[in-house]
Chains A and B, each alone.
Chain A
């Protein structure tokens, strides 16, 4: 052992000094280099993973929103079509009712017009008859005045009676 120590000049003081040197290196590397760098790398990994997860969630949300938008749009189209069809049907019904009403009104108007026309005609015929009677009476009176004899009177009277 002594020859070993002598050959290699083993000095416990230098061994302790070298140990202290290594311990300094160990602590310095751990606290100033390894630990902060590993923490930074861990944080960065967490940030990147978080970002990727957020992007994934956002993409899913976007997809979901797009689907909802499409659904809402499709429903709106269906609803609009339904409303349009209902409106169209209602308008057609209303049109039909209005046409029917108009037809009835026209018929009523024609009927009342006919009635008025008939009464006017009857009235005119009556008036014409009265006019004719008056004219006949007048003409007869004039004729009688111009032919004042007995025969004539009797014959004319008979004719007039036959009228």
Chain B
């Protein structure tokens, strides 16, 4: 039994190196490789930029143009697209490369470490998104970024009022004589604001766990299939995971774009406009 090397898929990324108190995990290592790949690609593209596009420049121009058109369909406004696109594109590239590198069939590229259960094989490559420490910062930055974008777009007061609806509380004192029903609606609106705040944390959790869960499940699935029948059985699932990698990166990026778009909208204006429109309709129906 001493010579047997065990491998089990863990929920967390395994450490592969230590620098003082800092532990380098295989997910962080993969993520760093992705950074290097992206830096190299970006430098190559930057150096090859010409007025008449060829090769890799052509490819990225097609990708950027297509992605911007797609973003326009979500935002409905080119100005929002132009501001949010760099972040969304970076998220997409970072996530997709992490997803794909994580499923590279690199065989026995790993370390053998002595654990309490015996000798264990630790893969050097694990997708950066198959670790919650990798997806959580992306989700946090996405949600915080969206709120900063909201502050820039509609102002700090309106952004704060989305979560702590002081306007609704204030309207109790200003509009109670004109509309006594405000005593009922204002606290509800305030509570909705608090729910929105909780929703922001839910966004972080949903974004990070969705990506982590899908990618991690894919890696476990591939490992399991490989254990049943090596080479043959994992191949179709490998192709499936390539597709899952694209879809998950796309979902993460598009959801980020949706959060950016929502945060740049002024709900009060829409609400007021609808309210005024409703009043006009009431007046018109009364006149008839």
Contact = CB atoms under 8 A, between A and B. Distances in A.
7 contacts: A8-B11, A8-B133, A9-B11, A18-B138, A24-B35, A29-B42, A29-B86
A1 interface: no
A29 B67 CA distance: 14
A30 B134 contact: no
B133 A28 contact: no
A26 B91 CA distance: 8
A21 interface: yes
Interface string B112-128: 00000000000000001
Interface in A34-62: 34-38, 40-41, 43-44, 47
A19 B39 contact: no
Contacts of A44: 51
B280 to A, nearest CB: 43
Contacts of B89: 29, 34
Nearest to B128: A18
B31 interface: yes
B133 A30 contact: no
A54 B183 CA distance: 66
B57 A37 contact: yes
A32 B90 contact: no
B133 A41 contact: no
B87 interface: yes
B136 A25 contact: no
B122 to A, nearest CB: 14
Interface string B138-152: 101100000000000
B231 interface: no
Nearest to B136: A15
B42 A26 contact: no
A10 B35 contact: no
Main secondary structure of the interface of A (DSSP, over half): helix
Given A15-B136, A18-B138, A34-B89, 6 more contacts: A22-B90, A22-B91, A32-B45, A34-B85, A36-B45, A37-B60
B133 A10 contact: yes
Contacts of A13: 21-23
B164 interface: no
Contact of A25 (B28, B53, B93, B132): B93
A79 B189 CA distance: 88
Nearest to B51: A44
Given A15-B133, A32-B43, A22 B61 contact: no
A151 interface: no
Given A9-B13, A37-B64, A29 B133 contact: no
A17 interface: yes
Given A8-B11, A18-B128, A19-B137, A34 B38 contact: no
A21 B34 contact: yes
Contact of B60 (A8, A9, A18, A33): A33
A44 B52 CA distance: 9
A30 B82 CA distance: 12
Interface string B7-41: 00001110000000111010110011011001101
B45 A37 contact: yes
